[in-house]
Amino acid sequence: MSAPATINGKEIFDLLRDDLVALEDEFGRDTVSSVRAITEIGEYLRAGGGKRIRPALLLLSSKLFHYQGRGAVRLGAVVEIIHTATLVHDDIIDEAKTRRGRPAANTQWGNSKCVLAGDWLYMQAFKMAVQERNFRILDTLIELTQMMVEGELLQIETLGKLITLEEYFDLIFRKTACLFSVCMRLGAILGGATLEQEGALGKYGHDLGMAFQIVDDVLDLTASPDVLGKPVASDLREGKATMAVIHALGRCTPEEREKIQAILHERAFNGVTHAHIVEILERYGSVEAATTRAAQYAESARRAICTFPDSEIKRALLWAPEFVVAREK
């Protein structure tokens, strides 16, 4: 009997169980500082949970090449700490009140302490990465953090403005997909992959990350606050035009366009309800268009790894795009 094409989330967790436990321990140890506020903020952020999908990808990528060393857990913690640092800074920039159903860190410790804690987390991540004594890994992480900072700056410059789909895709690459791609590449580097194999896994991570962010942006518009762990339509309130909104703006009436533009410019639902905006998006098939594009990226991710030999790890990677597209939060 042939092996199943994919395995499910529980089986992936079983594959990575020991590594993920070790990763949490690493995260906890490496976010301790002699300055109490940094330790408190670091522990608060770690305890907030998250899917740990980025370090899981790095672990799976390294296991694809039968890597046995400790570096995958260490670098898994590194990418999760970098991701956490970006969230701290994002919440300050967006003036967010909640994160994953809890008060955002900046509402507890204030913007000044959280900015510095985020900076400290970035530096700590690089301090940990240096232990690998691998310049390719450091170069890859430096390129990543520069790309992510550039993405945040570009987004600030476009707040309240209408952007093209190409500009939107560039933003979500910088904000999300580049980190997914780097996680896959780091695992490949640890595992001694060829440049061609590293490129294929980087492509997988890029397409998976693009699908992830498009779905995230759709859920921001359509999911309930309880499921999201934050207010719905936060992106619109922050002046961010995401794919479904961009799609609708290219098809709606001048009156509808004016209503959406007003929300983006004013960063508030003044005289227009969230339900009305969702109704406009559904009228023009905009949510479906975004979901379809996410599914296309997910399928492209699966195709990127089709040449790797069959294994439990490959089947886990084939399942991840399905999870990303079907998730509800």
- pLDDT by residue (tens digit) across 166-211? 999 999 999 999 999 999 999 999 999 999 999 999 999 999 999 9
Residue 5's pLDDT is: 60
Report the percentage of the chain scoring pLDDT > 90: 85
Residue 20 pLDDT > 80, yes or no? Answer: yes
Report the percentage of the chain scoring pLDDT > 70: 98
Q: How confident is the model at residue 329 (pLDDT cuts 50, 70, 90)?
A: confident
Residue 7 pLDDT > 80, yes or no? Answer: no
User: Phi-psi region for residue 4, left (φ > 0), alpha (ψ -120 to 50) or beta?
Assistant: beta
Residue 317's pLDDT is: 96
Residue 179: Cβ within 10 Å count: 22
Give the Cα separation of 249 and 265 in Å (integer): 14
Task: Give me 328's structure tokens.
Answer: 């509800």
Angle, helix 36-47 to helix 71-94, in steps of 10 degrees: 100
Residue 113 pLDDT > 90, yes or no? Answer: yes
Within 8 A by CB and 6+ apart from 162, the residues are: 241, 246, 249, 261, 264
Residue 224's pLDDT is: 82
- pLDDT by residue (tens digit) across 289-327? 999 999 999 999 999 999 999 999 999 999 999 999 998
Give the Cα separation of 63 and 83 in Å (integer): 22
Residue 225's pLDDT is: 79
Identity of the highest mean pLDDT range in 15-19, 57-61, 265-269: 57-61
Residue 2 pLDDT > 70, yes or no? Answer: no
What are 103's strand-pairing partners? 98
Residue 232's pLDDT is: 87
Q: Tell me if 212 sits within 8 A of 175, measured CB to CB.
A: no
Residue 240 pLDDT > 60, yes or no? Answer: yes
State pTM to two decimals.
0.93
Q: What domains lie within the chain, and their CATH numbers? A: 9-326 (1.10.600.10)
Give the Cα separation of 215 and 301 in Å (integer): 15
Residue 6 pLDDT > 80, yes or no? Answer: no
Overall average pLDDT of the 93-117 stretch = 91
